[in-house]
């Protein structure tokens, strides 16, 4: 039932084909573009032989790729990020035209800057994932210091590489073509959490209208 519910969420988001998402919460005011042909993915995938499988357990996310050229505003972390043996805490990242222009952190700022400076792609985003603040992982109130677990506690975005399968036809494109289509290429793919029970997210339509996607950290639409 859980997997089916997430598939319905992904199907709804896929049908809406928003051009961007707008995030508003404590320390966060951020607009993130979504490229033409983006695909919202939930937990379950199909193997080449047609068998359904779930790669991540536990899993709470519905995700796609953002447009590497369109990210503007400020995001503030809501969970620490464990990266390269360093715990990065209370950090804020500023974006303009898709690119990270400034990072600050109360703890681990040098490690965060080093991550961003890995390559050009690490100055941009490769994933956007929606997770309700009431997820079972969030309710545990425990940091696992492992992103594969911790990302299931909160909405998150990822610095670096985008997954090709989150763009229609993305797996057939060269790196150059993928980037021209809005996808990001990088050595890194590092998720960090920005969701909270105070977070509101709107989907922005092609006409510029705002529709509720999440309110107070929870899904704002029925499926």
Contact present, 23 and 29 (Cβ < 8 Å): yes
Q: Given a cut of 70, is residue 12 above it in pLDDT?
A: yes
- In the chain, the percentage of residues whose pLDDT exceeds 70 is 82
Secondary structure string (H, E, C) spanning 52-86: EEECCCCCCCEEECCCCCCEEEEEECCCCEEECCE
Q: Quick one: average pLDDT of 126-143?
A: 70
Contact present, 9 and 42 (Cβ < 8 Å): yes
The single-letter DSSP state of residue 134 is: T
Cα(213)–Cα(201) distance, integer angstroms: 5
Would you place residue 90 in the very low, low, confident or very high pLDDT band (cuts 50, 70, 90)? Answer: very high
- Position 6 scores a pLDDT of 76
Q: Quick one: average pLDDT of 49-62?
A: 55
Q: Quick one: average pLDDT of 133-146?
A: 53
Cα(207)–Cα(53) distance, integer angstroms: 37
Which residues make beta-bridge pairs with 190?
Answer: 159
- Position 53 scores a pLDDT of 40
Cα(148)–Cα(131) distance, integer angstroms: 13
Cα(39)–Cα(64) distance, integer angstroms: 6
Contact present, 217 and 132 (Cβ < 8 Å): yes
Which residues make beta-bridge pairs with 212?
Answer: 202
Q: Dihedral of CA 26/161/84/110: which sign? A: negative
The string of pLDDT tens digits covering residues 164-207 is 999 999 999 999 999 999 999 999 999 999 999 999 999 999 99
């Amino acid at each position: 039932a859980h997997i089916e519910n997430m598939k319905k969420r992904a199907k709804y988001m896929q049908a809406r084909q928003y051009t961007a998402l707008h995030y508003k919460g404590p320390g966060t005011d951020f607009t993130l573009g979504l490229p033409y042909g983006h695909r919202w993915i939930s937990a379950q995938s199909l193997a080449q032989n047609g068998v359904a499988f779930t790669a991540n357990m536990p899993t709470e996310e519905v995700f796609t790729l953002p447009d590497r050229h369109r990210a503007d505003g400020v995001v503030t972390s809501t969970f620490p990020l464990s990266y390269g043996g360093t715990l990065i805490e209370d950090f804020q990242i500023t974006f303009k035209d898709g690119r990270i222009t400034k990072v600050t952190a109360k703890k681990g700022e040098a490690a965060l800057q080093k991550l961003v400076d890995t390559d050009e792609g690490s100055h941009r985003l490769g994933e956007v994932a929606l997770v309700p603040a009431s997820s079972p992982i969030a309710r545990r109130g425990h940091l696992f210091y492992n992103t594969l677990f911790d990302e299931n506690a909160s909405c998150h975005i990822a610095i670096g590489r985008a997954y090709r399968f989150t763009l229609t036809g993305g797996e057939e494109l060269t790196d150059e073509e993928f980037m021209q289509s809005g996808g990001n290429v990088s050595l890194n793919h590092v998720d960090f959490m920005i969701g909270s029970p105070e977070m509101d997210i709107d989907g922005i339509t092609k006409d510029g209208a705002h529709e509720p996607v999440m309110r107070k950290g929870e899904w704002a639409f029925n499926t």
